[in-house]
Amino acid sequence: MKIINGKALLLRLRNPKQVVAAIPKSKEVEDSQVLVRWGVEEVLSLKKLNIKAPSPIEGKYSWTGQFKPMSHQKTTSAFLTMNKRAFCFNEQGTGKTASAIWAADFLMTQGVIRRALVICPLSIMDSAWRNDLFSFAMHRSVAIAHGAADKRKKIIAEGTDFVVINYDGLEIVQKEVAAGGFDLIIIDEATHYKNVQTTRWKTLNKLVGPDTWLWLMTGTPAAQGPLDAYGLAKLVNPQGVPRFLGSYKDQVMFKISQFKWGIKPESTSIVYHALQPAIRFTKDECLDLPDMVYVKREVAMTKQQEKYYKKLKTQMMMELQDSNVTAVNAAVMMNKLLQISAGAVYTDDGDSLEFDISNRYNVLKEVIDESSQKVLVFVPFKHTIAMLTSRLRADGITAEVIMGDVSAGNRTAIFKRFQETPNPRVLVIQPQSAAHGVTLTAANTVVWWAPTSSLETYAQANARVHRKGQTHKCTVVQLQGSPVERRVYSLLDDKINVHNKVIELYKDMLD
């Protein structure tokens, strides 16, 4: 088959009479060939007849935005435009958000869909979706439906092309969404919909009508076992799984004792067929992907954190008015702002005040679940390390710690286990304790729980995974929830040493 003038598709068929929407043949076209219009609806009609044809996005779409799509992104976009219900299992860091945006924009230009609803975690509503929509489809309008119920309802009623909302916010405005004309729903990090018994799943299921386009995206569709696939399949491919969860469980698992189940050998094949149609690119398969990808995740501070953050800023303003601030004093105060943001601040008498780290921890957990390999988590503050490690272990995630008071012998043993054995899956590190000379290529994901103020430490810490022996593409994730964190990360991204800008940064935080 081939494209003719970018407008029609030439098909070689044994029975040309099968084809619908055929353009009358000319003398140049043989009896075994048929010209058909090359639009989304026509190609989908051909697909129902088991006739393969490429997505018209491949020849009709001008890839919008500030960046050119990579080869795997074009393939992913084409796949999505050809499947009303589909899974995108591309790995974290492969740019699947952009692929979905381009696919949705093309369907809008074709008149196939009118509005798109994006459902995702709070942490990526702005940093991923709003920013990417501005970068890749700036001609489209977008709104973030977050906040009080009345505010969400008003935003949905405004009629923007894209509306981005968080998982649990959907239930609040369920009626408004149902009446909002959304004919495409995109679920990012779709593993949040694995359980059919939750209100979250039931709310979404009610909103998905027979004509709704639905794309579920996650890099790890069944990370905890085959049961994770059931809720996802019931949304996209309900015919591919039994009606009831119990019947599906009997297919993929066997009972060992009253409370213990094992996984059947044939479960992999069953899950594979249930989670269709699907596309997947690993980072390693994306030859045009940079070796190191940097992404940001927004984390909301708790009210307690906001209270102490504001209190400290007031104190900083008073000190600035009373006298000239030295670099040393500025660094101390900035460090306290970072400590509050990260979850624990040291008081003047040496004690520590702990904050609720649930918001930040939940985002970290999302990143860990999405990672295909092991994970390094860099935490600058010692007390926060203890809080975080305890939380990880309580959730059954094997984690070890590297910080200043861990002996050289124990460090060597921990590094060896991390590199050569399945556990630990996560290594929590105080950056200055492992920033040089250590190879940790068993991981391909680096998470900064909070930023370091040293450019050298930041670069060297990231290099623990991105060095000789690494066989996978790597991702660096920056968790940020306060103005000081955003500013410090910005300086690090621009390769500016924070120490050289500490007084300027101090004054910026008071604006």
For residue range 202-233, what is the model confidence (pLDDT) as tens digits? Answer: 999 999 999 999 999 998 888 778 999 999 99
Look at residue 323 and tell me whether its pLDDT is greater than 70.
no
Integer Cα distance of 489 and 501 in angstroms: 13
> How many percent of the chain have pLDDT more than 70?
89
Q: What angle do CA 98, 172, 127 make, to 5 degrees?
A: 25
Range 185-201 average pLDDT: 93
Question: Tell me, what's the pLDDT at 17?
Answer: 43
Note the Cα 21 to chain centre separation in Å: 40
CB-CB contact of 509 with 486 (8 Å): no
The single residue listed with the structure tokens 């060992």 is 256
Integer Cα distance of 136 and 105 in angstroms: 9
Look at residue 326 and tell me whether its pLDDT is greater than 90.
no
DSSP string, 103-118: HHHHHHHTTS-SEEEE
Integer Cα distance of 417 and 7 in angstroms: 58
What is the token pair recorded at 354?
A: 């702990």
Other beta carbons within 10 angstroms of residue 339's beta carbon come to 22
Look at residue 321 and tell me whether its pLDDT is greater than 90.
no
Which residue in 463, 413, 404 sits closest to 432, CA to CA? Answer: 404
Range 26-47 average pLDDT: 68
For residue 301, what are the CA distances in angstroms to 151, 207, 307?
21, 31, 10
Amino acid at 383: H
Question: Tell me, what's the pLDDT at 35?
Answer: 63
Question: Tell me, what's the pLDDT at 371?
Answer: 87
pLDDT band at 33 (very low <50, low <70, confident <90, very high): low
Question: Tell me, what's the pLDDT at 462?
Answer: 87
Integer Cα distance of 82 and 54 in angstroms: 8
Question: Tell me, what's the pLDDT at 19?
Answer: 44
User: Of the spans 112-121, 258-267, 300-309, which averages the highest pLDDT?
Assistant: 112-121
399: alpha, beta or left? (left if phi > 0; alpha if psi -120 to 50): beta
Which residue in 347, 343, 325 sits closest to 506, CA to CA? Answer: 325
Look at residue 335 and tell me whether its pLDDT is greater than 60.
yes
Look at residue 308 and tell me whether its pLDDT is greater than 80.
yes
What is the token pair recorded at 419?
A: 């590199």
Work out the mean pLDDT of the chain and round it to a whole number: 86
Q: What is the 3-state secondary structure (H, E, C) of 164-229?
A: EEECCHHHHCHHHHHCCCEEEEEEECHHHHCCCCCHHHHHHHHHCCCCCEEEEECCCCCCCCCCHH
As annotated, the residues of the chain forming the CATH 3.40.50.10810 domain(s) are 70-282
pLDDT in tens, 414-455: 999 999 999 999 999 999 887 566 889 999 999 999 999 888
Question: Tell me, what's the pLDDT at 422?
Answer: 93
Reduced to 3 states, what is the DSSP secondary structure of residue 274? helix
Question: Tell me, what's the pLDDT at 14?
Answer: 46
Integer Cα distance of 50 and 38 in angstroms: 16
Question: Tell me, what's the pLDDT at 3?
Answer: 41
pLDDT in tens, 127-145: 789 989 999 999 999 999 9
Q: Where are the beta strands (DSSP E) in 8-114?
A: 8-12, 22-23, 33-37, 85-88
Beta strand pairing call for 261-263 and 253-255: antiparallel
Other beta carbons within 10 angstroms of residue 322's beta carbon come to 8
User: What is the CATH T-level fold of the domain 70-282, as seen in this structure?
Assistant: Rossmann fold (3.40.50)
Question: Tell me, what's the pLDDT at 437?
Answer: 67
430-465 burial, b at 16+ Cβ within 10 Å, e below that, comes to: bbbbbbeebebbbbbbbbbbbbbbbbebbebbbbbb
Range 83-110 average pLDDT: 93
Range 72-101 average pLDDT: 93
Range 399-424 average pLDDT: 91
pLDDT in tens, 366-395: 899 888 889 999 999 988 999 999 999 999
Amino acid at 397: I
Range 63-82 average pLDDT: 93
**In this structure, what are the phi and psi dihedrals at residue 25, rounded to the nearest 5 degrees?**
-75, 145
Look at residue 278 and tell me whether its pLDDT is greater than 90.
yes
Range 53-67 average pLDDT: 88
As annotated, the residues of the chain forming the CATH 3.40.50.300 domain(s) are 292-299+354-508
Which residue in 154, 161, 117 sits closest to 138, CA to CA? Answer: 161
pLDDT band at 109 (very low <50, low <70, confident <90, very high): very high
User: What is the CATH T-level fold of the domain 292-299+354-508, as seen in this structure?
Assistant: Rossmann fold (3.40.50)
CB-CB contact of 218 with 151 (8 Å): no
Range 304-324 average pLDDT: 81
CB-CB contact of 204 with 119 (8 Å): yes
Question: Tell me, what's the pLDDT at 139?
Answer: 95
What is the token pair recorded at 23?
A: 């353009």
Amino acid at 148: A
Note the Cα 354 to chain centre separation in Å: 28
End-to-end distance of the chain based on CA atoms, in angstroms? 62
pLDDT band at 23 (very low <50, low <70, confident <90, very high): very low
Look at residue 158 and tell me whether its pLDDT is greater than 90.
yes
Integer Cα distance of 507 and 244 in angstroms: 60
Question: Tell me, what's the pLDDT at 5?
Answer: 40
Question: Tell me, what's the pLDDT at 332?
Answer: 83
Question: Tell me, what's the pLDDT at 32?
Answer: 52
